[in-house]
Homo-oligomer: A and B are copies of this chain.
Amino acid sequence: MAYYVGIDLGGTNIKAGIVTDTGEMLNRSSIKTNANRPMEEIIHDMGKLALTVIKDAKLDVKDIKAIGIGSPGTPDNKEGVLVYSNNLPFNMAPMRKLIKDIVNLPVYIDNDANCAGMAEAVAGAAKGVKNSVTITLGTGIGAGVIVNGRIYSGFNQAGSEFGHTVLVSGGEPCSCGRKGCFEKYGSASALVRMTKEAAEKNPSSKLNQVIKDEGKINAKIAFKAMRMGDQVAADVVDQYTDYLADGLANAINAFMPEVLVIGGGVCNEGDPLLKPLQEKTMSRPYFGPGVKKTVIKLAEMGNDAGIVGAAMMGKSCVDDGIEG
């Protein structure tokens, strides 16, 4: 049995665990990121956390083949550097070098959305499938594209930034500088915006009442009010799934994956989200007769995706003989 350390670096927590070569997670541990401190300190704690999970699993460093790190932002795995991150204080952060000072193992870095895609491909909804795309619906939209069992990230390791493909040309301004990006229409935040707009336009709706009762607004509200029979809420969900279906169709038409996985908290809604999405995305005849169709599934790896995916990304680099 070969073992890997997966590290899931987030804005709030750093999580790590030991993962087997088939994607089974043996243990996990986490610490606060405290993102306001110098990047060297954060990286130091990541190395220490790797040692912790190795020890907790009653393993030695020599039992571990590699450390994989899933991080927000744009990594450069060749140089072992995190080039930059929007939400964390990393600028050309020499992660490989600093981690190796603490744990002398090969260290690999990739984007967190890519790692989520790898986790689903190895052990989740796209298990056993060579080409898959995992779209994570959160504050923004992350995409992990797996081609021939490997993360696809373009010539500059920046891709796929599928959340920043334009879905509504000239539409909502996006943080990336363009207008009408997919993530402004298909993310959980977009659903919240649509919910808020509909509630304001329809003050006597159940939707508006649910928001008042709960004292807050989030991505669950529209589904909840829809289940209570509210038409305004049903229309919000319909509008959201229209956009989301167009975005998923784009991922299919771009990459033609065998399985398209959708993840993120909003996917906890289950069938009321998945069924119309499948219907709206797949009913168009754009595949042509006789052409095999992509299957849309819900993510299965949940909170483990980051750790397992980072570890399996590390494994794929070891398998490919990439220097870490």
Contact = CB atoms under 8 A, between A and B. Distances in A.
Interface of A: 73-74, 83-84, 86, 91-92, 129-131, 147, 152-162, 164-170, 176-178, 180, 185, 242-243, 246-247, 249-250, 252-258, 283-294
B178 A290 contact: no
A83 B289 CA distance: 8
B162 A253 contact: yes
Give this chain's copy count. Answer: 2
22 contacts: A74-B291, A83-B288, A84-B290, A131-B155, A147-B152, A154-B255, A155-B258, A156-B256, A156-B287, A156-B293, A159-B252, A159-B254, A159-B255, A160-B256, A162-B254, A164-B286, A165-B250, A166-B249, A169-B185, A169-B242, A177-B283, A254-B254
Contacts of A252: 159
A286 B169 contact: no
Contacts of A177: 283-286
Given A167-B169, A169-B185, A255 B160 contact: yes
B84 A154 contact: no
B162 A288 contact: no
A109 to B, nearest CB: 14
A242 B243 CA distance: 21
A92 B290 CA distance: 8
Contacts of A254: 159-162, 165, 254-255
Contact of A292 (B156, B169, B170, B180): B156
A23 B279 CA distance: 44
A161 B129 CA distance: 21
A185 B167 CA distance: 13
Contacts of A246: 166, 169, 178, 180
B155 A288 contact: no
Nearest to A132: B155
> Considering residues A83, A152, A242, A250, which has the most beta carbons from chain B within 10 angstroms of its beta carbon?
A250
Contact of A169 (B168, B176, B293): B168
B154 A131 contact: yes
Given A160-B256, A256-B155, A249 B290 contact: no
Contact of A155 (B130, B157, B158): B130
A284 B176 contact: yes
A254 B153 CA distance: 9
Contacts of A154: 131, 255-257
A63 to B, nearest CB: 33
